[in-house]
Structure 1
Amino acid sequence: MKRIAFSAAACATLAALPAIAEVESQDPIRLTTHDWTGQIINTTILQDVLQKAGYNTELVQADYIAQFAGLKTGDLHVATEIWETTGREAMDEAVATGNVVNMGEGGMIAIEEWWYPSYMEARCPGLPDWEALNNCASEFATSETAPLGRYLGGPVTWGGFDEERVEALGLDFEVVHAGTDAALFAELESAYQREAPIVLWLYSPHWAPAKYDGKFIEFPEYSKACYDDASVGINPDAAYDCGKPTGPIWKVAWAGVEDKWPGAAEIVRNYTLTNEEMGAMVSAVDLDGQSIEAVADQWMADNAAKVDGWIN
């Protein structure tokens, strides 16, 4: 009788656990993480959703653009954030090979561009028009870049064609890259508190555009032709003589995911976050000191019904 009772209890316990036996493979699904807080939060939540569905997962740190090599070969499996602003060319090239699949919009709309604090408008009349920058490049100069102004770009791995844009538009600026996402925003905080000159890469969704009073530089309007054809745009001899695109943040996957883990592929396609959700979560981590895991756990608890809908 004891043996029968134990078996019943064991069955009840197993029934309460995720349906591991029902997933197509227990080989780990490798999700890429990069070097900014929001993307790591995003990927951690997707990992939690997949694990709740019974899938085995791994987080693998990878460069934002270089990750496509691994996605093409199947060494990496899912990437949660390919920004229309900086990653569209690499994504389209990878999808064209047939080895990478666009898994749809991730729910957020991306803006990435040069940004300055509003107090700089008194020192540089004409802002936010990009043509004002050369009239006051010295206002943005540092001892390392003078007489050129200094533009603080994101980490080199983010791409973005800032050096090409400076050359194409004839800007009297030197691009200096921050080493990390954290370093970028630490320098902004320091400059803002001192009202020191700064123009830098800022992006949304993020807490910074809400916390700091400032504006994005208004460059000539982006077009795909501006990036692809030197004859298009205000400089007939150079591409990238325009601003950066805006648009969706995409999800991509190795093409084999749909065959090996079709249920997981469907979850990835369904999974979305909003700009508002992401801004709040990044703020909780970067400003309030919460851990990424705690923030992801709270999101999972607050959105349990939505997650169950993605899984079932």
Structure 2
Amino acid sequence: MMNLKLGLSALGFTVATSAAWAVESTDPIKLTLHDWSGQLINTKIMGSILQEAGYNVEYLQADYIAQFAGLKTGDLHLAMEIWETTGREALDEATASGNVVNVGETGLMAIEEWWYPSYMKDRCPGLPNWEALKDCAEEFATAETAPNGRYVGGPVTWGGFDEERVEALELEFEVVHAGTDAALFAELESAYQRKDSIVLWVYVPHWAPAKYDGEFVEFPPFSAECYSEPSVGVNPDLAYDCGKPRGPIWKAAWSGLQEKWPGAYDIIEAYNINNDEMSAMVGKADLDGVDIDTVVADWMETNKDRWSGWISK
């Protein structure tokens, strides 16, 4: 019985192995699933490759930040997307415990920031400079937030410190969190079609910046000190008075994984994928309605020589 206070729920199956050769342990390697398409695709590609190498794989639903509790205890084994932009603090804390290891970059490079459609520049001159938002918050207001502007944030579980940033930069905005990834981009689609005012959380890799004409807000440059030292940044009294960090998306694992499944660990370490191919796959799933398992199977077929090399190393 899993001893977790994470609200984890098994998806009801353990994938059987099909490879003919022996593996170090037939116990399932437990991979976490979250609530956005790119992470589901990334994780299921990794799981499919491990299956091809002969390993059993089990997928478990877990909250993005709360999953670290399970990784520390070994109730979870692998998380495929820890974003530098929102998860680095949790990753560093977990690795410092000695119970979690950083298995390296996925190859994906992350941006997560406030984003607006280009038509908003006519209503809010001065964008993309963040200071323009001080003068035109009412342009982003809704009936529920007026006179404050509305910023549509990601699900609360994603983190991101948006409320802290609004307070520290003295922006007259209310942060309204979308309940799901799909709801976030439904807000964008609805506003864009009607040319309604909107500023929201957009991330890369994703199809949205390619489909819609727009820009990221340019906040004061991120620094680690900006997040930890109130005296650093444009507001001498509060932290988070800067933009979000940008950088790699990492793979994180239970520290016992390498000892129990050394061959699997080597495959996980070798695995990499790039922004362009991930954005295209997320577009197939979210825009074209292709089932995620089909998207994954197509990638596996197209890239057989590539992932076979990771297994044979």
Residue 152 of structure 1, CA deviation: 0.1
Who is 1:73 aligned against? 73
Who is 1:158 aligned against? 158
Deviations 1:107-145 (A, max 9, x none): 010000000000000001111110110211111001111
Q: Which runs of 4 or more aligned residues in structure 1 lie more than 3 Å from their structure 2 counterparts after TM superposition?
A: 17-21
Deviations 1:1-32 (A, max 9, x none): xxxxxxxxxxxxxxxx8545520001110000
- 1:274 aligned onto 2:305: no
Who is 1:309 aligned against? 309
User: Contact (CA 8 Å) 1:83, 1:249: kept in 2 or not?
Assistant: yes
Who is 2:232 aligned against? 232
SS in structure 1 at match of 2:201:
strand
AA aligned opposite 2:228: D
Matches within 5 A, 1:95-244: 95-244=95-244
SS in structure 2 at match of 1:93:
helix
Distance 1:29 1:202 in 2: 32
TM-score, scaled relative to structure 2: 0.93
TM-score, scaled relative to structure 1: 0.94
- 1:250 aligned onto 2:250: yes
Distance 2:20 2:249 in 1: 30
Who is 2:13 aligned against? none
Aligned pairs, number: 296
Distance 1:136 1:301 in 2: 50
User: Contact (CA 8 Å) 2:19, 2:51: kept in 1 or not?
Assistant: no
Who is 1:56 aligned against? 56
What is the root-mean-square deviation of aligned Cα atoms in Å?
0.9
AA aligned opposite 1:163: E
Deviations 1:67-86 (A, max 9, x none): 00000000100000000000
Distance 2:20 2:277 in 1: 30
- Residue identity over aligned pairs, in percent, reads 70
- 1:33 aligned onto 2:30: no
SS in structure 1 at match of 2:123:
coil
User: Contact (CA 8 Å) 1:116, 1:200: kept in 2 or not?
Assistant: yes
Deviations 1:143-180 (A, max 9, x none): 11111100000000000000000011101000000000
- Of Structure 1 and Structure 2, the greater helix share is in 1
SS in structure 2 at match of 1:215:
strand
Distance 1:224 1:185 in 2: 29
Who is 1:6 aligned against? none
Who is 2:87 aligned against? 87
AA aligned opposite 2:249: I
User: Contact (CA 8 Å) 2:141, 2:148: kept in 1 or not?
Assistant: yes
User: Contact (CA 8 Å) 1:20, 1:55: kept in 2 or not?
Assistant: no
AA aligned opposite 1:202: V
Distance 2:75 2:148 in 1: 43
Residue 260 of structure 1, CA deviation: 0.5
In our comparison, the structure showing a higher alpha carbon Rg is 1
Distance 1:101 1:23 in 2: 22
User: Contact (CA 8 Å) 2:104, 2:250: kept in 1 or not?
Assistant: yes
User: Contact (CA 8 Å) 2:33, 2:60: kept in 1 or not?
Assistant: yes
Who is 1:10 aligned against? none
SS in structure 1 at match of 2:293:
helix
Extract unaligned runs of 5+ from structure 2: 1-16
